[in-house]
Amino acid sequence: MRGDNVPNSDSRPLTMWSTSTDLSPYSSSQEDSLTLAPLASNLEPLSRHDQFWMYDGSIVLHVENTLFRVHQTVLASHSDIFRDLFMVPQPAGEEMIEECHVVHLHDTVKDFVDLLKAVYVPECVHSL
């Protein structure tokens, strides 16, 4: 099963990329049913988002109990906050999933899904 290399509670270092900034002002969500192992700060199982887990993504974003694998360059081109966040160099040994760095965000899944829809599927936003 993909994602079985999600770190356990003993090996998870703190990441410099963690942010408490709310990056998305939107609402609406879909969650994946694939269950992954929980991380240290989270007792509930993690799941990959079905729409925004992209096989060629370059960054994994951990929002609540959901993982998103998306493209750093796409997010950085749409957001100064992401651009600045991704410019911070990461030390060796940081948390990774499928060779992608993990960034912990403190948004809601609903808000973050809408942010990603606005970036990746802009016609969804224009139809509202």
Give the pLDDT confidence of 15-57 residue by residue, as tens digits: 444 444 444 333 333 333 333 444 445 567 999 999 999 999 9
What is the mean predicted confidence (pLDDT) over 93-108? 92
Q: What share of the chain is helix, strand, coil (3-state, %, to 5)?
A: 25, 25, 50
Alpha-helical runs (H) found in the chain:
72-78, 80-87, 109-120, 122-126
What is the structure's pLDDT at 123?
A: 83
Minimum mean pLDDT among 25-29, 48-52, 99-103, 109-113: which range? Answer: 25-29
- CATH superfamily, domain 35-126, is Potassium Channel Kv1.1; Chain A (3.30.710.10)
Q: What is the mean pLDDT of the chain?
A: 75
What is the structure's pLDDT at 62?
A: 97
What is the structure's pLDDT at 101?
A: 92
Q: What band does 127 get if pLDDT is binned at 50, 70 and 90? A: low
Residue 98 confidence (pLDDT) above 90: yes
Give strand pairing partners of 61: 68, 103
